[in-house]
Amino acid sequence: MSTVLILGAASDMARAIARAYAKAGRAVILAARRHERLASDVADLGLRYGVAACAVEFDVLDVAGHARFLDALGELPDTVISVAGFMGEQAQNERDPEAATLVMRSNYVGPAAILGEAAQRMTARGSGVIIGISSVAGERGRARNYVYGSAKAGFTAFLSGLRNRLHGSGVRVITVLPGYVATRMTEGMATPRLLTAEPAEVADAILAAEAKGRDVIYVRPIWWLVMTVIRAIPERFFKRMRI
Protein backbone atom coordinates (compact mmCIF):
# COMPACT_ATOMS: atom_id res chain seq x y z
CA MET A 1 0.00 0.00 0.00
CA SER A 2 1.52 3.33 -1.05
CA THR A 3 1.71 6.09 1.53
CA VAL A 4 0.96 9.82 1.47
CA LEU A 5 2.41 12.24 4.02
CA ILE A 6 0.31 15.36 4.57
CA LEU A 7 2.18 18.26 6.18
CA GLY A 8 0.04 20.81 8.00
CA ALA A 9 -2.70 18.23 8.37
CA ALA A 10 -4.97 20.08 10.80
CA SER A 11 -6.60 22.39 8.24
CA ASP A 12 -9.96 21.82 6.55
CA MET A 13 -8.23 21.41 3.20
CA ALA A 14 -5.72 18.91 4.56
CA ARG A 15 -8.46 16.82 6.15
CA ALA A 16 -10.30 16.68 2.83
CA ILE A 17 -7.10 15.63 1.07
CA ALA A 18 -6.56 12.88 3.64
CA ARG A 19 -10.06 11.53 3.04
CA ALA A 20 -9.61 11.56 -0.74
CA TYR A 21 -6.32 9.66 -0.60
CA ALA A 22 -7.63 7.19 1.97
CA LYS A 23 -10.70 6.56 -0.19
CA ALA A 24 -8.31 5.80 -3.04
CA GLY A 25 -6.67 3.13 -0.88
CA ARG A 26 -3.58 5.05 0.19
CA ALA A 27 -2.10 4.83 3.68
CA VAL A 28 -2.08 8.27 5.30
CA ILE A 29 0.34 10.01 7.66
CA LEU A 30 -1.06 13.21 9.14
CA ALA A 31 1.65 15.60 10.33
CA ALA A 32 0.84 18.64 12.43
CA ARG A 33 2.21 20.66 15.32
CA ARG A 34 -0.68 19.58 17.56
CA HIS A 35 -0.93 16.08 16.18
CA GLU A 36 -2.83 14.77 19.20
CA ARG A 37 -5.88 16.69 18.00
CA LEU A 38 -6.01 14.46 14.91
CA ALA A 39 -6.79 11.26 16.81
CA SER A 40 -10.42 11.26 15.69
CA ASP A 41 -9.37 11.84 12.07
CA VAL A 42 -6.98 8.89 12.23
CA ALA A 43 -9.69 6.63 13.66
CA ASP A 44 -12.22 7.76 11.06
CA LEU A 45 -9.87 7.14 8.14
CA GLY A 46 -9.11 3.66 9.37
CA LEU A 47 -12.71 2.70 10.02
CA ARG A 48 -14.25 4.36 6.98
CA TYR A 49 -11.70 3.37 4.34
CA GLY A 50 -9.81 0.45 5.88
CA VAL A 51 -6.38 2.01 5.40
CA ALA A 52 -3.44 2.48 7.74
CA ALA A 53 -3.43 5.96 9.23
CA CYS A 54 -1.45 7.74 11.92
CA ALA A 55 -0.70 11.24 13.20
CA VAL A 56 2.79 12.52 13.96
CA GLU A 57 4.19 15.74 15.38
CA PHE A 58 5.61 18.20 12.87
CA ASP A 59 6.52 21.88 13.04
CA VAL A 60 7.11 23.40 9.61
CA LEU A 61 8.99 26.30 11.23
CA ASP A 62 11.56 23.97 12.83
CA VAL A 63 13.75 23.78 9.75
CA ALA A 64 16.66 22.34 11.72
CA GLY A 65 14.44 19.42 12.75
CA HIS A 66 13.12 18.51 9.30
CA ALA A 67 15.72 15.85 8.58
CA ARG A 68 15.12 14.22 11.98
CA PHE A 69 11.39 14.27 11.31
CA LEU A 70 11.76 12.37 8.04
CA ASP A 71 14.25 9.97 9.62
CA ALA A 72 11.73 9.14 12.34
CA LEU A 73 9.12 8.11 9.77
CA GLY A 74 11.23 5.12 8.79
CA GLU A 75 10.22 4.35 5.23
CA LEU A 76 9.99 7.43 3.02
CA PRO A 77 6.39 8.08 1.85
CA ASP A 78 5.55 7.75 -1.84
CA THR A 79 3.85 11.17 -1.91
CA VAL A 80 4.48 14.24 0.24
CA ILE A 81 1.92 17.05 0.24
CA SER A 82 2.55 20.39 1.93
CA VAL A 83 -0.65 22.12 3.00
CA ALA A 84 1.16 24.17 5.64
CA GLY A 85 0.49 27.90 5.59
CA PHE A 86 -0.61 30.94 7.54
CA MET A 87 -2.26 34.01 6.04
CA GLY A 88 -2.03 36.46 8.92
CA GLU A 89 -3.44 39.98 8.71
CA GLN A 90 -2.02 42.35 6.12
CA ALA A 91 -2.44 45.41 8.35
CA GLN A 92 -0.54 43.73 11.18
CA ASN A 93 2.11 42.49 8.78
CA GLU A 94 2.69 46.07 7.63
CA ARG A 95 3.19 47.30 11.21
CA ASP A 96 5.01 44.36 12.76
CA PRO A 97 8.10 42.87 11.10
CA GLU A 98 7.88 39.77 13.30
CA ALA A 99 4.32 39.10 12.17
CA ALA A 100 5.36 39.52 8.54
CA THR A 101 8.33 37.22 9.04
CA LEU A 102 6.06 34.54 10.53
CA VAL A 103 3.88 34.65 7.41
CA MET A 104 6.94 34.36 5.17
CA ARG A 105 8.42 31.48 7.15
CA SER A 106 5.07 29.64 7.34
CA ASN A 107 4.29 29.89 3.63
CA TYR A 108 7.69 29.79 1.99
CA VAL A 109 10.77 29.07 4.10
CA GLY A 110 9.37 26.14 6.09
CA PRO A 111 7.44 24.39 3.29
CA ALA A 112 10.29 24.84 0.81
CA ALA A 113 12.82 23.46 3.30
CA ILE A 114 10.88 20.29 4.15
CA LEU A 115 9.97 19.57 0.52
CA GLY A 116 13.58 20.14 -0.50
CA GLU A 117 14.71 17.62 2.10
CA ALA A 118 12.08 15.12 0.93
CA ALA A 119 13.16 15.69 -2.68
CA GLN A 120 16.77 14.79 -1.89
CA ARG A 121 15.67 11.49 -0.40
CA MET A 122 13.21 10.70 -3.18
CA THR A 123 15.90 11.41 -5.77
CA ALA A 124 18.21 8.91 -4.09
CA ARG A 125 15.38 6.38 -4.19
CA GLY A 126 14.50 7.22 -7.78
CA SER A 127 10.77 7.80 -7.28
CA GLY A 128 8.20 9.95 -5.52
CA VAL A 129 5.70 12.75 -5.85
CA ILE A 130 5.97 16.15 -4.16
CA ILE A 131 2.89 18.36 -4.07
CA GLY A 132 2.90 21.94 -2.83
CA ILE A 133 -0.24 23.96 -2.15
CA SER A 134 0.63 27.49 -3.23
CA SER A 135 -1.77 30.32 -4.10
CA VAL A 136 -2.92 32.57 -6.91
CA ALA A 137 -2.03 35.38 -4.48
CA GLY A 138 1.58 34.75 -5.47
CA GLU A 139 1.07 35.49 -9.15
CA ARG A 140 1.11 39.26 -8.71
CA GLY A 141 1.68 41.47 -5.69
CA ARG A 142 -1.55 43.11 -4.57
CA ALA A 143 -1.93 45.89 -2.01
CA ARG A 144 -4.37 43.91 0.12
CA ASN A 145 -2.18 40.88 0.80
CA TYR A 146 1.30 41.42 -0.57
CA VAL A 147 3.14 39.91 2.41
CA TYR A 148 1.26 36.61 2.12
CA GLY A 149 1.36 36.88 -1.67
CA SER A 150 5.11 37.41 -1.73
CA ALA A 151 5.67 34.28 0.35
CA LYS A 152 3.46 32.23 -1.96
CA ALA A 153 5.24 33.71 -4.98
CA GLY A 154 8.51 32.44 -3.56
CA PHE A 155 7.00 29.02 -2.91
CA THR A 156 5.61 28.79 -6.43
CA ALA A 157 9.02 29.69 -7.87
CA PHE A 158 10.68 27.12 -5.61
CA LEU A 159 8.33 24.37 -6.79
CA SER A 160 8.89 25.33 -10.41
CA GLY A 161 12.66 25.24 -10.04
CA LEU A 162 12.54 21.96 -8.13
CA ARG A 163 10.32 20.42 -10.82
CA ASN A 164 12.79 21.41 -13.52
CA ARG A 165 15.81 20.19 -11.53
CA LEU A 166 14.23 16.81 -10.86
CA HIS A 167 12.98 16.21 -14.40
CA GLY A 168 14.10 12.75 -15.45
CA SER A 169 14.94 11.66 -11.90
CA GLY A 170 11.72 9.71 -11.31
CA VAL A 171 10.47 12.38 -8.88
CA ARG A 172 7.55 14.58 -9.91
CA VAL A 173 6.63 18.00 -8.47
CA ILE A 174 3.10 19.38 -8.67
CA THR A 175 2.09 22.97 -7.93
CA VAL A 176 -1.52 23.47 -6.80
CA LEU A 177 -3.18 26.89 -7.05
CA PRO A 178 -6.57 26.56 -5.35
CA GLY A 179 -7.86 30.15 -5.47
CA TYR A 180 -10.47 30.86 -2.82
CA VAL A 181 -11.44 27.84 -0.72
CA ALA A 182 -14.36 27.71 1.70
CA THR A 183 -12.43 26.98 4.92
CA ARG A 184 -12.04 28.41 8.39
CA MET A 185 -9.18 30.58 7.08
CA THR A 186 -11.51 32.37 4.63
CA GLU A 187 -14.56 32.42 6.91
CA GLY A 188 -16.08 35.89 6.92
CA MET A 189 -14.43 36.89 3.65
CA ALA A 190 -16.69 37.92 0.76
CA THR A 191 -15.50 35.39 -1.82
CA PRO A 192 -17.25 35.05 -5.22
CA ARG A 193 -19.09 31.73 -5.49
CA LEU A 194 -17.79 31.08 -9.01
CA LEU A 195 -14.20 31.40 -7.78
CA THR A 196 -14.57 29.56 -4.47
CA ALA A 197 -13.89 25.84 -4.26
CA GLU A 198 -14.89 23.42 -1.53
CA PRO A 199 -12.11 21.52 0.31
CA ALA A 200 -13.27 18.22 -1.19
CA GLU A 201 -13.05 19.76 -4.66
CA VAL A 202 -9.43 20.73 -4.01
CA ALA A 203 -8.68 17.22 -2.73
CA ASP A 204 -10.16 15.55 -5.80
CA ALA A 205 -8.22 17.89 -8.09
CA ILE A 206 -4.94 17.05 -6.35
CA LEU A 207 -5.56 13.32 -6.53
CA ALA A 208 -6.40 13.62 -10.23
CA ALA A 209 -3.32 15.75 -10.89
CA GLU A 210 -1.07 13.09 -9.37
CA ALA A 211 -2.75 10.34 -11.37
CA LYS A 212 -2.51 12.27 -14.65
CA GLY A 213 1.05 13.48 -14.20
CA ARG A 214 0.17 17.17 -14.18
CA ASP A 215 2.71 19.87 -13.31
CA VAL A 216 0.61 22.92 -12.37
CA ILE A 217 -3.11 23.03 -11.70
CA TYR A 218 -5.68 25.69 -10.96
CA VAL A 219 -8.38 23.88 -9.01
CA ARG A 220 -11.05 25.85 -10.86
CA PRO A 221 -9.88 26.49 -14.44
CA ILE A 222 -11.49 29.94 -14.46
CA TRP A 223 -8.62 31.10 -12.24
CA TRP A 224 -6.23 30.65 -15.17
CA LEU A 225 -8.22 33.23 -17.12
CA VAL A 226 -8.55 35.58 -14.13
CA MET A 227 -4.82 35.54 -13.41
CA THR A 228 -3.91 35.88 -17.08
CA VAL A 229 -5.91 39.13 -17.16
CA ILE A 230 -4.47 40.38 -13.86
CA ARG A 231 -0.88 39.70 -14.94
CA ALA A 232 -1.50 41.55 -18.21
CA ILE A 233 -2.57 44.84 -16.60
CA PRO A 234 0.23 47.42 -16.99
CA GLU A 235 1.82 48.41 -13.67
CA ARG A 236 0.94 52.09 -14.08
CA PHE A 237 -2.74 51.12 -14.04
CA PHE A 238 -2.50 48.21 -11.65
CA LYS A 239 -1.04 50.27 -8.81
CA ARG A 240 -4.12 52.52 -8.88
CA MET A 241 -6.59 49.68 -8.57
CA ARG A 242 -5.83 48.88 -4.90
CA ILE A 243 -7.08 45.32 -5.24
To the query of whether residue 49 is one of the catalytic residues in this protein, the response is no
- How far is Cα 115 from Cα 98, in angstroms, rounded to an integer? 24
Does residue 57 contact residue 31 with C-beta atoms inside 8 Å?
yes
- How far is Cα 108 from Cα 85, in angstroms, rounded to an integer? 8
- How far is Cα 31 from Cα 55, in angstroms, rounded to an integer? 6
Does residue 103 contact residue 87 with C-beta atoms inside 8 Å?
yes
Kindly tell me the sign of the dihedral angle through the C-alpha atoms of 92, 94, 95, 98.
Answer: positive
- How far is Cα 201 from Cα 220, in angstroms, rounded to an integer? 9
- How far is Cα 24 from Cα 51, in angstroms, rounded to an integer? 9
Task: Determine the residue type at 39.
Answer: A
Q: Which residues of 110-127 are buried (b: 16+ CB within 10 A; e: fewer)?
A: bbbbbbebbbebbeeeee
Query: Active-site residue among 21, 49, 108, 148?
Result: 148
**Catalytic residue set:** 148
